Amino acid sequence: MHTWLMQIAVNLIRDHIRNRRFQFWRRASLTAKSIDAPGFAPAAAGKSPEALALLKERVASIWTTAERLPEKQRTVFLLRFVEDMDLLEIAAATGMKEGTVKSHLFRALRTVRECLGESI
Amino acid sequence: MIAHLSSEQLSEFMLGRPSPLVDQQVARHVQNCPACRAELANFREALGEFRGAVRAWGEDQANTLAIPAAAREPRAWRASHQLAWAVLIAAVCIIASFVIPRHPGDGAPGSDAVLLNQVDTQVSRTVPSSMEPLMKLVAQE
């Protein structure tokens, strides 16, 4: 019972946080303003300055690549790899078929992987 | 042993759902191929860091931008609407003062005298005006 209640609470909090982030993404996309690679601060715990710099570079590189992706690829990429949504959830949220979501994700991943390989 | 992972196979792994048909063969390859294992691990790590950083940044932006915007917009909205209403009411009052006709007798000189004459006439009647036709009949008889 306790675990079950905790799970509900955790889900509620997660949904709330996700909604807030969605609102932010939505506002950011509505303003059609390009967001420059922001001052990302990857978790620094136990990392050397060099490793941290490399990490920042990788994160910024993925961000830049994601920003250049076609809109649908970028949407499914962010929903999958930032919001942790599975294919069915993304299909429901975007109105695409699951196969279409998968195909956009494959293309997005290929592009991101190629850019990541080039930048490092 | 198969060749290194194709882009699709790697993506399948990244999505966490390799196709059942190639699952065993690909999984065995990944186990035995340090290059593919390292590539997968690097890509996963990079995307994991990306998720963490973007989430944290998104949270931060949502917190810093949402509150001032939410607080500022209604206040600005209220002020502009109050001003608009005040202007509208003033305009209606000004227009109404020109358009609505005044009562013809209001403030006219001699209106008191006319009123007093009417009262005199009413008071001097012997019967109410509604009974005057009857009085005429009685007088004729």
- Taking the CA of residue A118 and the nearest CA in chain B, the distance in Å comes to 13
Asked whether A62 and B50 are in contact (CB, 8 A), the reply is yes
pLDDT, tens digit (0-9, with 9 covering 90-100), for A18-71: 666 666 666 565 554 444 555 566 566 677 788 878 888 888 888 888 888 998
Over residues B25-58, the pLDDT tens digits come to 777 888 888 988 888 888 888 888 888 887 777 7
What ipTM does this complex have? Answer: 0.71
Q: Do the Cβ atoms of A81 and B50 come within 8 Å?
A: yes
Q: How many CB atoms lie within 10 A of CB B25?
A: 13
Spell out which residues of chain B touch residue A77, defining contact as CB-CB under 8 Å: none
Q: Test A106 with B7 for CB contact under 8 angstroms.
A: yes
Q: If phi over 0 gives left and psi between -120 and 50 gives alpha, with beta otherwise, what is residue B87?
A: alpha
pLDDT value for A32 = 45
Q: Label residue A105 by pLDDT band (50, 70, 90).
A: very high
pLDDT greater than 90 at residue A108:
yes
Tokens 């915007």 -> residue:
B69
Q: Could you tell me which chain A residue has the CA closest to the CA of B62?
A: A24
* Residue-wise pLDDT tens digits, B92-116: 877 777 776 665 555 555 677 887 8
User: Tokens representing A44?
Assistant: 């620094």
**For the residues B111-123, what does the mean pLDDT come to?**
77
Question: Cβ B55–A109 below 8 Å, yes or no?
Answer: no
Cα-Cα-Cα-Cα dihedral sign, residues A108, A112, A113, A115? positive
Of B10 and B139, the one with more pLDDT: B10
Higher per-residue confidence, A108 vs A25: A108
Domain layout of chain B by residue ranges: 1-69
The nearest alpha carbon in chain B to A54 belongs to B46
Residue range B59-97, pLDDT digits in tens:
776 666 655 555 555 556 666 677 778 778 878 877 777
Q: What is the pLDDT of residue A24?
A: 62
Q: Round to whole Å and give the CA distance between B77 and B71.
A: 11
User: What pLDDT score does A97 carry?
Assistant: 93
A1-5, B21-25, B68-72: range with lowest mean pLDDT: B68-72
Separation of first and last alpha carbons in chain B: 140
